[in-house]
Amino acid sequence: MFDSFFSSDLPISAAKFHQVNIQNIVTHFKNNGILERSRLAQPPFADINDHGIFSLFEDEDQNRIIRIVEQVNNNAIG
């Protein structure tokens, strides 16, 4: 879900892709089941930038990432 989102839907640079580190998001879901939106501004998502995704992306792109996170959360909760 995240790989296709970033590879085809967003006009972002490779540097931003690596900064967000989608693997951290996936690992968080595997380890915790859900991901609270506020965590996207905390380590490990903010290891490169203090504000995590919220300073790397424009509002529209942030909202798209958050929608995917919420969709996965909803699927996990059932």
Structure tokens at 3: 């790989």
Instruction: Domain of residue 16: give its range.
Output: 2-77
Average pLDDT over residues 64-69: 88
Q: How many domains does the chain have?
A: 1
38, 36, 32, 28: which is closest to 2 by C-alpha?
A: 28
Place of tokens 């972002």: 12
pLDDT exceeds cutoff 90 at 36: yes
In the chain, what percentage of residues exceed pLDDT 90? 21
Cα 75 from chain centroid?
16
In the chain, what percentage of residues exceed pLDDT 70? 73
Structure tokens at 47: 């290891």
Q: How confident is the prediction for the chain on average, in pLDDT?
A: 78
How many other β-carbons are positioned within 10 Å of the β-carbon of residue 35? 21
Q: State pLDDT tens for residues 5-14.
A: 555 555 556 5
pLDDT attached to residue 59: 86
Average pLDDT over residues 30-46: 90
